[in-house]
Chain A
Amino acid sequence: MSATLLLQLTINGILLGGVYALAAFGLSLIFGVSGVLNLAHGELLMLAGFIVFVIHDRLGVNPFLLAVLVAPLFFLVGYAFEQLLIRPLANRKEHVRLASATLVTLGAALVIEDLAAFASLGTEFEKSVGYFIPTIQLGWMVLPSLKLVVFGLVLVLIAILVIFFKYTYAGLAVRAVTQSPRGALLSGVNTKHINAFAFGIGSFLAAAAGGLEVIHSYVSPLIGLPLTLKYLCIIVMGGLGSFVGVALGGIVIGLGEAFVGYFNPAWGQTVAYLLLVLVLLTRPKGLLGR
């Protein structure tokens, strides 16, 4: 394998992993704050992608602009999701609450999936925005401009997240609840509100990833659960509760898919799960878990 090819595969893997990481941040945040594994996370991503597709298809609005406009709406969706479906379970015993909440999110995932499939009846399920930006050629190497733009937006969002969590009261409160819900409560943080807030931010990130997904790839009603599983692999691999770990997990899986897929396309799709097993065997708490 030549050095150029090696570099090209590395770039592709990082670009791919960046988008994975964006959505995985959201799942990790919800899990970190509320302890709930939101199995509907991939479905929210899919739903946002669908909305971007439909508006772009009908009105011809720029898909990047749509992705930016649609994602904040999903903050409200996530907030309402927690208030309506998760909050009612709050007074149950902890293990019952977690199991019930996870099952509720699974039910929500299936409902969203079915609704999207129903809405797609009479059309093809796979929706993609036919967007093309001329590529950048550097000798033999080609930089896919569209993915670079998508990756750039991912970086901007991550930078905003970092600033938010580091310098705002809400962000600090979220981090406090992630570290110790009881401690945060004793310090005067409204943990119930923070739970819903985390669902809102998590859903916002999923929607942002969905908007970008439909631009550089496609969404279909059936992609939600497999994506959630992949994001779960990423956050477990990176180390639960570690945002840097999530970024690292995303990049590792992106690189894994890029390199393995070069030699064998079929195994490229499975490598995430193999890497997870490998990491857990050597570092049971994940790459950066403590």
Chain B
Amino acid sequence: MTHEHDHNCKDDHSFAILSRRKLLQTTALGAGWMLLGRNGEALAQGAPSEIRIGGTISQSGTFQAIVGPFHKLMTTWADRVNAKGGIFLKQYNKSLPIKMFLYDDKSEPATALSFYERLATVDKVDLFIGPFSSFLHNAALQASVTHKVPFFMTEGNDAVLFEKPNPWRVSGLSRAVQEMDKLVDFYAERKGVKTFAILGRDNLHEQGAVQGVAAALKKRGFEVVYQDLAPKDIKDFSSIVLAIKAKNPDVLIAESIAPPWTIQFLKQARELGLNPKDVVPSHGPVPVIKGMGDAAENLVSLLYSFDGDSADHKDFNELCKEAGFEAWAFSEAGIRYRTFKRIEDTLKRAGSVDKEAVRKAMWETNIKIFGSETMKHDSEGYGTDIPYPVQVKSGKYVSLWPISRGVGIHKFKDHKW
């Protein structure tokens, strides 16, 4: 009994030791499983706690009027993604929230580049989102090559940006020369105009866009009676207006991504009695409408979105509203929205924030958006986004797309402005 007891005692003791050992082992195994099992892979590979996305947006300077509210648009998008739990990345087997790093580039290339350098070296972002315009992209893109950070271009599509192969960048936009293809299609269908005058701001993006629309118009049988570029810092347009007036065009196209330039030109054109059938400030966000006052009625412009009832339309409209503006008010908002969708899709497919994996995935984008569009990139890195024609009605833009609908809505500017 004693023995037995002893035995039992010994057994009990051994059991106790074993139990303790087992307990320790179990705890260790449990902890190990916790660390190396479900999340172990992540830990082993240094799983990040967030997806770090960085870029600049012009909160000051010439471009403020065209993209000022996009700072809020981007942070709102990140908040909405995070509210849904973030983006699931397979490699870490979990969803990660987005953390945005945004700076004001003051519409200056040198400032933009310095912030992209900072984003790569100090903020250590996983990917870049582009600034506004080809002008700023041209500077900012250098950081993508230097630091090998995937660069999701936004409003940048001038040919200069694609001259040198750069595997770290892709654009959502199609070529700058194609920017007004849908506008030309519209006028071809609309009929009633024959001659066009085109004045562009002498700047990277506008140079390509002016050449492109002139070529597209000629191809469709229209006559381009005036085509020129005016300096970025011009203050007096009177001679240009007179030169255009002498040609008596049916349609006047003002191609400029700088709203103050556009407003000055159109104001002076109006003042000097230039009165074509249609006036097209091809980039005409709400500050241009406000700047033109009553004369804005029936101006034609371009918008990177169109009316529709797809889930993306609903999502886009809600996002803009949450960011504090209506979707029609800022023509380039649609480009940003598509960029957000490209980023989400790329990260999901890459399953990681590894820069090489993201880089590869971003080139393979092929997604449906807004019901009818397909977003993808060609071998040079161009995308597929082309804007749609719109017209100012009672102080806000109304979509002229699809063309069959637009022809019924469109009115020539039949009053003195």
User: Given contacts A123-B64, A126-B62, A128-B264, is CB(A269)–CB(B231) below 8 Å?
Assistant: yes
User: Given contacts A125-B62, A130-B293, is CB(A257)–CB(B236) below 8 Å?
Assistant: yes
Is B271 an interface position by the 8 A CB rule? yes
Chain A: number of interface residues, binned into ranges: 35 or more
B242 touches A269 (CB 8 A): no
Is A24 an interface position by the 8 A CB rule? no
Enumerate chain A residues within 8 angstroms of B242, measured Cβ to Cβ.
5, 8-9, 12, 262
User: Given contacts A130-B291, A135-B273, A218-B264, is CB(A124)–CB(B231) below 8 Å?
Assistant: no
In the complex, what distance in Å separates the CA atom of A1 from the CA atom of B150?
55
B238 touches A266 (CB 8 A): no
Enumerate chain A residues within 8 angstroms of B65, measured Cβ to Cβ.
124
Is B202 an interface position by the 8 A CB rule? yes
B264 touches A265 (CB 8 A): no
* Interface size counted on chain B using CB atoms at 8 A: 43
- Tell me which of A137, A142, A268 contacts B239 (CB under 8 A): A268
In the complex, what distance in Å separates the CA atom of A235 from the CA atom of B70?
45
B273 touches A137 (CB 8 A): yes
B62 touches A259 (CB 8 A): no
Q: What residue in chain B is nearest A1 (Cβ atoms)?
A: B246
In the complex, what distance in Å separates the CA atom of A121 from the CA atom of B107?
11
User: Given contacts A125-B62, A135-B272, is CB(A217)–CB(B239) below 8 Å?
Assistant: no
A187-212, CB under 8 A of B: which get 1 and which 0? 00000000000000000000000000
Is B415 an interface position by the 8 A CB rule? no
Within 8 A of B (CB), among A229-270: 257-266, 268-269
In the complex, what distance in Å separates the CA atom of A142 from the CA atom of B238?
11
Within 8 A of A (CB), among B221-278: 228-231, 233-236, 238-240, 242-243, 246, 258-261, 263-264, 267-268, 270-273
Is A120 an interface position by the 8 A CB rule? yes
Q: What residue in chain B is nearest A121 (Cβ atoms)?
A: B60
User: Given contacts A142-B273, A257-B239, A262-B242, is CB(A269)–CB(B234) below 8 Å?
Assistant: yes
Is B48 an interface position by the 8 A CB rule? no
- Tell me which of A120, A123, A260, A269 contacts B233 (CB under 8 A): A269
Is B313 an interface position by the 8 A CB rule? no
Is B282 an interface position by the 8 A CB rule? no
Enumerate chain B residues within 8 angstroms of A147, measured Cβ to Cβ.
271
Is A35 an interface position by the 8 A CB rule? no
Enumerate chain B residues within 8 angstroms of A269, measured Cβ to Cβ.
231, 233-234
Is A183 an interface position by the 8 A CB rule? no
A137-168, CB under 8 A of B: which get 1 and which 0? 10000101111000000000000000000000
B270 touches A124 (CB 8 A): no
Is A226 an interface position by the 8 A CB rule? yes
How far apart are A219's CB and chain B's nearest CB, in angstroms? 9
B64 touches A265 (CB 8 A): no
B263 touches A5 (CB 8 A): no
A266 touches B230 (CB 8 A): yes
How far apart are B204's CB and chain A's nearest CB, in angstroms? 15
How far apart are A54's CB and chain B's nearest CB, in angstroms? 16
In the complex, what distance in Å separates the CA atom of A33 from the CA atom of B287?
45
Is A16 an interface position by the 8 A CB rule? yes
Enumerate chain B residues within 8 angstroms of A60, measured Cβ to Cβ.
none
A144 touches B271 (CB 8 A): yes
User: Given contacts A124-B65, A262-B243, is CB(A144)–CB(B272) below 8 Å?
Assistant: yes
- Tell me which of B62, B236, B264, B295 contacts A16 (CB under 8 A): B236
- Tell me which of A121, A135, A142, A145 contacts B59 (CB under 8 A): A121
User: Given contacts A121-B104, A126-B62, A135-B272, is CB(A262)–CB(B231) below 8 Å?
Assistant: no
User: Given contacts A122-B60, A269-B231, is CB(A258)–CB(B238) below 8 Å?
Assistant: yes
Enumerate chain B residues within 8 angstroms of A264, measured Cβ to Cβ.
228
User: Given contacts A16-B236, A218-B235, is CB(A124)–CB(B61) below 8 Å?
Assistant: yes
- Tell me which of B106, B234, B239 contacts A259 (CB under 8 A): B239
Enumerate chain B residues within 8 angstroms of A220, measured Cβ to Cβ.
260
Enumerate chain B residues within 8 angstroms of A135, measured Cβ to Cβ.
271-273
Enumerate chain A residues within 8 angstroms of B106, measured Cβ to Cβ.
117, 121
Q: What residue in chain B is nearest A222 (Cβ atoms)?
A: B233
Interface centre among A5, A123, A261 (most CB of B within 10 A): A261
Enumerate chain B residues within 8 angstroms of A5, measured Cβ to Cβ.
242, 246
In the complex, what distance in Å separates the CA atom of A260 from the CA atom of B238?
12
How far apart are B359's CB and chain A's nearest CB, in angstroms? 34
Enumerate chain B residues within 8 angstroms of A223, measured Cβ to Cβ.
233
A217 touches B260 (CB 8 A): no
How far apart are A11's CB and chain B's nearest CB, in angstroms? 9
Q: What residue in chain B is nearest A16 (Cβ atoms)?
A: B236
User: Given contacts A122-B59, A124-B64, is CB(A132)–CB(B238) below 8 Å?
Assistant: no
Interface centre among B239, B271, B273 (most CB of A within 10 A): B239
In the complex, what distance in Å separates the CA atom of A122 from the CA atom of B64?
7
Enumerate chain A residues within 8 angstroms of B63, measured Cβ to Cβ.
124
Q: What residue in chain A is nearest B66 (Cβ atoms)?
A: A124
Nearest first, the 7 closest Cβ-Cβ pairs linking A and B are A126-B260, A261-B239, A142-B273, A265-B230, A262-B239, A124-B64, A12-B238
Q: 23 A–B contact pairs at CB < 8 A?
A: A16-B238, A122-B60, A122-B64, A123-B60, A123-B64, A124-B61, A124-B63, A124-B259, A126-B261, A128-B263, A132-B271, A135-B272, A137-B273, A142-B272, A142-B273, A144-B268, A145-B271, A146-B271, A220-B260, A260-B239, A262-B239, A266-B230, A269-B234
Given contacts A5-B242, A258-B236, 20 further A-B contacts (CB under 8 A): A117-B60, A120-B60, A121-B60, A125-B107, A126-B260, A128-B260, A132-B271, A144-B238, A144-B272, A217-B264, A223-B233, A257-B236, A262-B243, A265-B229, A265-B239, A265-B240, A266-B231, A268-B234, A269-B231, A269-B233
Which of A's residues lie within 8 Å of B, judged by CB? 5, 8-9, 12, 16, 117, 120-126, 128, 130, 132, 135, 137, 142, 144-147, 217-218, 220, 223, 226, 257-266, 268-269
